[in-house]
Chain A
């Protein structure tokens, strides 16, 4: 019998809480509290239990009846109050009024992630013009006129001496012209390459260059800084390698690769079956660059690095066509 009391208590609680109308309220009253209700019928049963059990069960049963009556009354009051007001009951299930938040472009978001890591490492953020002179874009960066190194960057010219910058590296010359070391800065921005538009290349993209110039800056420190960056940006147990390369404005030069995260280094289409993904270029600033801004390269050394934001976002978010960034399809913009 004690089990029956417990069960009725639970059923009643569920039923009374579910009540939303007067009609349902009456149903609950009839089911539990009326003369023929389940509680009354338990009192009938009580008559036939052994004498020694009666006092304890009677106590339980009375407490059930009181509990049911009290909760029923509370519910009744609530329902009546709602009904007596002139307004109809609130339908809380109606959709809420939503305010659409906007979104930064995925390239901006990626750049911001990069910026915040380098800012935490003490780098300033600097900008420069997109329509540059040949001098800043090439000459001062140790790309002599008529040098095949110029073929590395297909260039849009607007006149003999002016062009759309092919990298954000010219900003480092502009900074050095204005400032004396120590200098620690990154330089994000838009750059242009005179290449046919396809899924893999576009006529423009975004780059972040970085420099640290001081006495005693070394290749090993460049390595340390970039590893710190890559671990924060990708993940702590990332595998990487530095590979010798060539840029006119750095000597020695390197490219940094990380393990392809699609195939985990086994080799796949994205990493051209090498197991590695190139993420940035870097090196020690070439003495010829220092010469063009009248720094003494015997005393001052520095490192520089640069990375393409489109490529980094492409790899990070699995975007398979660079043109998507610039088509700005709203369905694409909303995804990030």
Chain B
């Protein structure tokens, strides 16, 4: 929202208040000034010049060479505009001037071999209009050499203010003036309606037009004025400048007045060509059977049944509160005008604006809430201004349909409540002053409270707490004392993120790097690992679905890294994944949101070094690292591992870990055809945990156990067995068949080779015996050891080696 300080000065005396102060205090009070355009600075080094001589550029047909007088000196410039002539007063940009349109700084340059020391400007280059057809020609009475900021009254300061959605009242010059007045203790004077009797026609408005509201819920009030015999033409300079200063384009004197009022008072108006309204009638009703409508920008709009329309006796003439129609637009031939000044239900206008994907200055204000009680005043002011600049007569009287007036709310404000919420004291007199300046009315003063009547231009304020905010923000948040009353925890401190933080700690200790990838993916990618949920309104097809697993996102990241030469990666991610369970999502039961942890390995686990050969990551790196992680989190013995060699749609082969028959995670070597989707051709091993299931594993209790006092006895042996017999089978068999003295079995060597035959392998085990109570005798260990050897030989058809 652009605010012109020159415009504001019509309602508020800003003498003695600095621009910097206005900017700082407005920002602090909630109207954040985002940009300041100081025209005096903007037009520095732009002066009025007189073209005293024009000749052809010697080397270019379309360029001319001009000598421009600035009073005390003659400046030679090359000009490309077709309309430049000797004797014209023009705007000269001297060297060091910065062209507002382009930000380009004027320097002494050679153009086709001829030196140019400045530039003659067009209106567009000066940001004064969109006209770039030629240079701007100034009135002859201006003095050469005078800065254009003073010559053309370009001395305004424009503030670009970010208006939060709760402050529709501040979407106008008057609204911002009110805040400034409250902050600086000034008064706001509304413009006055002052119509000369000679400009009022004898006819009565009711004889010229009639209005009917069929939907009073969505249109609680409709006010109208009529002006006859106007001349539609270009606006006078003062009006053009006002509306251009707030970023609008001048159209004609009638439309410009409606826009002027909109920006001045915040009340959107619409001017109809009264002669184009069939039956001279306005009917406000829902579109119903009307399905399409052509707005004044010549676009065809599709309507819904409940879209609120402005109609005449035959047809629709405007989309209420959003945009007028082509069929009733004011044109150069228009003579008689009906000014619409209405209050529409914010929700209705917002729905229409959303449906049509059409946001206008009017709809933007209506959907935020305009003041229902300013409509008539705005219509009258518009009528007066139109009559003043377009001639004609204002028709006597007005039409004002307002069946159920919207009354001002009244709220009790307790001073004790102000203190309680803010935690510091603001004096009663200050409170009264602030509220009054903002347009609130106070009465029923009591020792500990006052009754506050809330003006209808503040739809955001309706409760005591809203008044407290008004008081605090105008008093200034700088006055909030910093109370360092930071107490200790009240209850047992919980940290729901601590489990994941532990995993991160372990993972980084094991050398993994954490990644955070995008949860939004393409259907193709998200669909690999589950049933992805689709966004109704995605930014792009690449980000239209939620991830169903952390694997695909990580593979996208691998692809990028590998392409940039980072081929050896050890990554992990913790994050949510989503799967659709039912076709329609109407409750939390229709989808699954599940937290996962992914560990991923690719490339080389060790580079070639002087002490080690280069080695690629393999399945056992993955398995070992996973187990190392789990070792810190749980008792490994409670987990059950199962192996799958055949693979599934994702893995070539994989390992599943479960606890109490519930899968806590799966991982293995990713399939080549999955990798190829991501353009990867190096092996990738990864494992994904389901965090909720992981959390069900009892955490290893920290408890002291007596240190072993007696020696351990270790016996090694190696079997040659069939190559398809798995380590775990023999391990389990030994565990089952050995005595209680055997405490540990580990594999210390594995060998396959031609000497053994291609269908054989050798597995070397180390068996550890001990007892917590006594030293074992050789005999009892030997006995158990040999029993096991015999049993294993028989069970697995194994041959003892060496």
Give the chain B neighbours of A328 by CB distance below 8 A: 515-517, 557, 560-561, 571
Knowing A159-B586, A218-B422, A243-B30 are in contact, say whether A333-B514 is a contact too (CB < 8 A): yes
**Are B494 and A251 in touch, CB under 8 angstroms?**
no
Asked if A81 is at the interface of the complex by the 8 Å CB criterion, the answer is no
Judge if A334 is at the interface, Cβ distance under 8 Å: yes
Contacts of A197 in B (CB 8 A): 539, 543
In chain B, positions 403-427 with a C-beta closer than 8 Å to chain A are 420-424
Residues of the B chain whose Cβ atoms lie less than 8 Å from the Cβ of A286: 465
Given the known interface contacts A301-B421, A327-B560, the answer about A246 and B166 at a Cβ–Cβ threshold of 8 Å is: yes
B675 to chain A minimum Cβ distance, whole angstroms, is 18
Most chain A CB within a 10 A radius of its CB, from B465, B468, B586 = B465
* A243-B533 contact in complex given A330-B566, A333-B515, C-beta closer than 8 Å: no
Give B567's nearest chain A residue, CB to CB. Answer: A330
| Contact mask for chain A residues 98-124; partner B; CB cutoff 8 A; 1 contact, 0 none | 011111110110001001000101111
Do A244 and B29 touch (CB < 8 A)? Answer: yes
Binds B, one of A42-50, A60-68, A219-227: A219-227
The reply to whether the CB of A40 lies closer than 8 angstroms to some CB of chain B is no
Q: Any chain B CB within 8 A of the CB of A162?
A: yes
User: Does A242 interact with chain B (Cβ within 8 Å)?
Assistant: yes
- A131 close to B593 (CB less than 8 A): yes
CB-CB contacts below 8 Å: B569-594 with A: 569-572, 575-576, 578, 584-586, 588, 591, 593
In the complex, which residues of chain B have a beta carbon less than 8 angstroms from the beta carbon of A326? 516-518
Is B483 an interface residue, CB under 8 A from the partner? yes
B167 on the A face (CB < 8 A):
yes
Cβ–Cβ contact A100 & B511, under 8 A: yes
B421 engages A122 (CB within 8 Å): no
- Does B139 sit within 8 A of A, measured CB to CB? no
- On whether the beta carbons of A203 and B520 are closer than 8 Å, the reply is yes
Q: Mark B23-43, 1 if CB is under 8 A from A, else 0.
A: 000011110101000000000
Question: Which of A5-13, A30-38, A141-149 contacts the other chain?
Answer: A141-149
- A139 sits at the interface (CB 8 A): no
**Is A151 positioned at the interface, with any CB of B under 8 Å from its CB?**
yes
A84 adjacent to chain B (CB < 8 Å): no
**B490 in contact with A103 (CB, 8 Å):** no
Taking CB atoms and an 8 Å cut-off, the chain A residues in 207-254 that contact chain B are: 214, 216, 218-221, 223-225, 227-228, 241-246, 248, 251-254
List of A residues within 8 angstroms of B478 by Cβ: 241-242
A295: interface (CB < 8 Å): no
User: Which of A19-27, A69-77, A182-190 is near enough to bind chain B?
Assistant: A182-190
Contact A204 B519 (CB under 8 A): yes
Are B422 and A220 touching (Cβ within 8 A)?
yes
Whether B508 pairs with A152 at a CB distance below 8 angstroms is: no
> Given A95-B609, A100-B511, A124-B495, are A225 and B480 also a contact pair (CB < 8 Å)?
no
Q: Is A194 within 8 A of B537, CB to CB?
A: yes
A residues 156-173 near B (Cβ < 8 Å) are 156-162, 164
Which listed residue (A203, A246, A333) contacts B165, Cβ 8 A? Answer: A246
A15 within 8 A of B: no
- Asked if B576 contacts A130 (CB within 8 A), the reply is yes
Whether A244 contacts B557 by the Cβ 8 Å rule is: no
Closest Cβ of chain B: how far from A148's Cβ, in Å?
Answer: 4
Residue contact A149 to B515, C-beta cutoff 8 Å:
no
Q: Determine if B472 and A252 form an interchain contact, defined as CB atoms under 8 angstroms apart.
A: yes
B755 within 8 A of A: no
A272 within 8 A of B: yes
Docked pose: A246 CA to B32 CA in angstroms? 11
Is A127 touching B481 in the complex (CB atoms < 8 A)?
A: no
Least CB distance, B543 to chain A, in whole angstroms: 6
- Flag if B477 contacts A228 (CB, 8 Å): no
A182, A195, A272: the one contacting B490 at CB < 8 Å is A182
Q: Tell yes or no: B756 within 8 A of A by CB.
A: no
Contact B520 A122 (CB under 8 A): no
Q: In the complex, what distance in Å separates the CA atom of A95 from the CA atom of B485?
A: 54
Task: Name A residues whose Cβ lies closer than 8 Å to a Cβ of B.
Answer: 94-95, 97, 99-105, 107-108, 112, 115, 119, 121-127, 129-131, 133, 146-149, 151-152, 156-162, 164, 182, 184, 188, 190, 192, 194-197, 203-204, 214, 216, 218-221, 223-225, 227-228, 241-246, 248, 251-254, 272, 284, 286-287, 301, 325-331, 333-334
Question: From B31, which residue of chain A is reached at the shortest CB distance?
Answer: A244
A162 touching B585 by the CB < 8 A rule?
yes
State A147–B477 Cα separation when bound (angstroms).
27
Q: Please judge, given known A-B contacts A101-B511, A131-B578, A146-B347, whether A220 and B424 are in contact too, CB under 8 Å.
A: yes
CA distance A245 to B473 in the complex (A): 9
Are B536 and A159 in contact, with the CB atoms below 8 A? Answer: yes
Q: Which residues of A contact B487 (CB under 8 A)?
A: 122
**B510 within 8 A of partner (CB):** yes
Contact A159 B512 (CB under 8 A): no
Contacts of A164 in B (CB 8 A): 535, 546
B610 touches A95 (CB 8 A): yes
Select A157's contact among B508, B537, B578, beta carbons within 8 Å: B537
Tell me the minimal C-beta distance from A156 to chain B in angstroms: 5
B window 342-375: CB within 8 A of A: 346-347, 350-351, 367-368
**B539 contacts A105, C-beta separation under 8 Å:** no
Instruction: Please list 24 pairs of residues, one from A and one from B, whose beta carbons are closer than 8 Å in the complex, sorted by A's number.
Output: A95-B609, A102-B572, A103-B508, A104-B508, A105-B514, A105-B515, A127-B496, A127-B497, A130-B593, A131-B533, A133-B588, A148-B368, A159-B536, A164-B535, A164-B546, A190-B519, A194-B537, A228-B484, A246-B164, A287-B463, A327-B560, A328-B515, A328-B571, A330-B569
In the complex, what residue of chain B is closest to A188 when comparing beta carbons?
Answer: B497
A184 touches B490 (CB 8 A): yes
Complex: A252 Cα to B347 Cα, angstroms: 25
Bound form: Cα–Cα A241–B509 in Å: 41
Partner of B535, one of A121, A133, A158, A244: A158
Q: For A112, list chain B residues within 8 Å (CB).
A: 501
Interfacial chain A residues near B481, Cβ < 8 Å: 220, 223
Q: How far is the CB of A318 from chain B (nearest CB, A)?
A: 19
Say yes or no: is B758 at the interface (Cβ < 8 Å to chain A): no
Q: Which of B479-504 contact A (CB under 8 A)?
A: 480-491, 493-498, 501, 504
Q: Are B511 and A124 in contact (CB under 8 A)?
A: no
A122 adjacent to B28 (CB under 8 Å): no
CB-contact partner of A219 in B421, B593, B611, under 8 A: B421
Residue pair B423, A152 in contact (C-beta under 8 Å):
no
B513 CB within 8 Å of chain A: yes
Q: Give Cα A158 to B587, complex, Å.
A: 12
B782 within 8 A of A: no
Distance of B21 from chain A, by nearest CB (Å): 15
> Given the complex of chains A and B, what is the CA–CA distance between A156 and B423 in angstroms?
39
Distance A203 CA – B311 CA, assembled complex (angstroms): 43
Q: Which residues of B contact A216 (CB under 8 A)?
A: 420
The answer, among B490, B504, B560, B609, for a CB contact under 8 Å with A97, is B609
Given contacts A148-B346, A190-B575, A220-B483, list 16 more A-B pairs with CB under 8 A. A101-B511, A107-B516, A122-B490, A123-B493, A125-B497, A126-B496, A131-B593, A216-B420, A219-B424, A220-B480, A251-B465, A251-B468, A252-B473, A253-B469, A325-B516, A330-B566
